[in-house]
């Protein structure tokens, strides 16, 4: 299979949304906690600490809402090869990519994880190292062929299996009389 594509900023941001660090969630939890305690303090009588609670919440929430998106865009500008026009050759042995900067060839064993998003196939070669293949580069039948090729070379991860089990459980009929067990 041979396809031509070019990645964009929106592709880069979609990949970044898939892999969020511990700090991303930590700042959300801290921000929401201090916002909640600030409101609770206001409701119960208010004090001079209310302002401090809201300032801490604002600072904590600034990271996931403002600082992280700006830093991701800045990081994107430091990777000029990400937006080069690519030609991908996919086969049973692996992937070969060529562009104006050079050529790379990887066996399937070089990849540690594969994720499929709404618009992308993301092939990870370790933490922070990945190849992005936009689905828009494929025809509808080629998307299915590429998905089958990936399925032949990668096992279903436990998280994907868990999601599959959960989605199937919502489709199963509930036994009558004991709905709370499901």
Among 24, 56, 77, give the residue marking a domain's end.
77
**Average pLDDT value for residue range 135-160:** 80
In which band, very low, low, confident or very high, does the pLDDT at 61 lie, cut at 50, 70 and 90? Answer: confident
Instruction: Residue 131: give the domain boundaries.
Output: 2-7+85-169
CATH number at residue 140: 2.30.29
Q: Are 106 and 120 in contact (CB under 8 A)?
A: no
Q: What is the pLDDT at residue 48?
A: 64
As for how many domains the chain has, the answer is 2
By C-alpha distance, which of 36, 20, 138 is closest to 69?
A: 20
Q: Are 101 and 108 in contact (CB under 8 A)?
A: no
Among 24, 43, 77, give the residue marking a domain's end.
77
Q: Are 7 and 83 in contact (CB under 8 A)?
A: yes
Q: Please tell me whether the overall predicted TM-score, pTM, comes out greater than 0.75 for this model.
A: no
Q: What is the pLDDT at residue 136?
A: 93
- Looking at the fold, whether 94 and 153 belong to one and the same domain comes out as yes
The reply to whether 122 falls in a domain is: yes
In which band, very low, low, confident or very high, does the pLDDT at 135 lie, cut at 50, 70 and 90? Answer: very high
**Average pLDDT value for residue range 98-126:** 88
In the chain, pLDDT over 90 holds for what percent of residues? Answer: 13
**Average pLDDT value for residue range 141-151:** 90
- Looking at the fold, whether 16 and 36 belong to one and the same domain comes out as yes
The reply to whether 179 falls in a domain is: no
Helices (H) and strands (E) in the chain, counts: 6, 7
More confident residue, 144 or 55: 144
Query: Crossing angle for the helix pair 22-43 and 49-62, nearest 10 degrees?
Result: 160
């Amino acid at each position: 299979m041979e396809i031509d594509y070019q990645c964009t900023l929106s592709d880069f941001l979609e990949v970044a949304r898939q892999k969020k660090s511990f700090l991303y969630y930590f700042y959300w939890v801290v921000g929401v906690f201090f916002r909640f305690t600030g409101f609770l303090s206001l409701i119960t009588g208010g004090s001079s600490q209310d302002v401090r609670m809201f300032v801490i919440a604002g600072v904590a929430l600034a990271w996931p809402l403002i600082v992280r998106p700006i830093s991701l865009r800045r990081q994107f500008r430091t990777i000029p090869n990400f937006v080069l026009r690519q030609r991908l050759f996919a086969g049973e042995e692996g992937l070969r990519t060529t562009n104006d900067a050079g050529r790379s060839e990887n066996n399937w064993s070089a990849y540690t994880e594969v994720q499929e998003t709404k618009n992308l196939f993301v092939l990870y070669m370790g933490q922070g190292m990945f190849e992005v293949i936009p689905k828009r580069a494929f025809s509808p039948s080629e998307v299915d062929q590429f998905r089958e090729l990936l399925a032949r070379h990668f096992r279903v991860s436990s998280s994907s299996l868990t999601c599959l089990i959960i989605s199937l459980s919502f489709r199963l009929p509930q036994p009558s009389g004991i709905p709370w067990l499901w």
